[in-house]
Amino acid sequence: MKRLSVLFGALLLSGCGLTPMYAGGGSGSVARGLADVQVAAIEGRAGWLVRNALVDKLGSDKGATSRYRLDVRLDDKLEGFALLSDDTIGRERRTLRARYQLVDTSTGEVVLDATAASDAGIDVVSSDYATIAAEQTALENLSKDVATRIVTGVALRLRGDTRQ
């Protein structure tokens, strides 16, 4: 009885149209498409971090021979929002937002125009060094998170999913 229900469940899932995004591994269409994306330079320290994370996640940075170019503009904000009884800031929020466009280099057509964002809370402590270190660590983590979101959006588009 248990085997019959497992077989029935497998048959139902096979008919639903779900397919793994990275089917075929490194030789699959999505992986090959991601490896064919050149990441343009991004301004600032946050841009450097995001670009490096994107290049790592995409798996290639061929330069002029790439089929697609990824243009990214960042907005990095650091704001204090928790006031203590002595009117000092007790907490900060760092927000990193990216607007990205995937451009077909042969036609110049924008294939994908989307945004990705992430934020982190930072405790402001009495040590300036510790606070600055926490702000920098937050930026590094946010850069990796935003890069992951961008790569996922690009992978969905290259797979043919237009419901972003």
Judged against a pLDDT cut of 60, whether residue 161 lies above it is answered with no
Domain assignment of residue 53, yes or no:
yes
Whether 17 is in a domain gets the answer no
Task: Indicate whether 1 belongs to any domain.
Answer: no
> Is 6's pLDDT higher than 80?
no
Residue, of 85 and 43, whose pLDDT is higher? 43
Residues 12-35 pLDDT 10s: 665 555 555 454 455 566 777 788
Specify the CATH number for the domain of residue 105.
3.30.160.150
pTM above 0.75, yes or no: yes
CB 70, CB 54: distance < 8 Å: yes
Residue 25 lies inside a defined structural domain of this protein:
no
Measured between alpha carbons, how far apart are the two ends of the chain, in Å? 41
Domain that holds residue 81: 43-159
Q: Residue 46 is inside which H or E element, if any? A: helix 44-58
* pLDDT of the residue at 154: 93
pLDDT band at 73 (very low <50, low <70, confident <90, very high): very high
**CB contact set of 83 (below 8 Å; sequence gap of 6+):** 89, 90
Please compute the mean of the pLDDT values over residues 69-91 and round it to a whole number.
Answer: 88
Total domains, the chain: 1
- Does residue 23 sit within a domain? no
Which of 12-26, 37-51, 100-114 shows the lowest mean pLDDT across its residues?
12-26
Is residue 133 domain-resident?
A: yes
Q: Is residue 17 helix, strand or coil? A: coil
5 domain-assigned: no
Binning pLDDT at 50, 70 and 90, where does residue 85 land?
Answer: confident
Residue 147 maps to a domain: yes
SS3 of residue 99 by DSSP: strand
pLDDT at position 88: 81
**Which pLDDT score, from 0 to 100, does residue 90 have?**
86
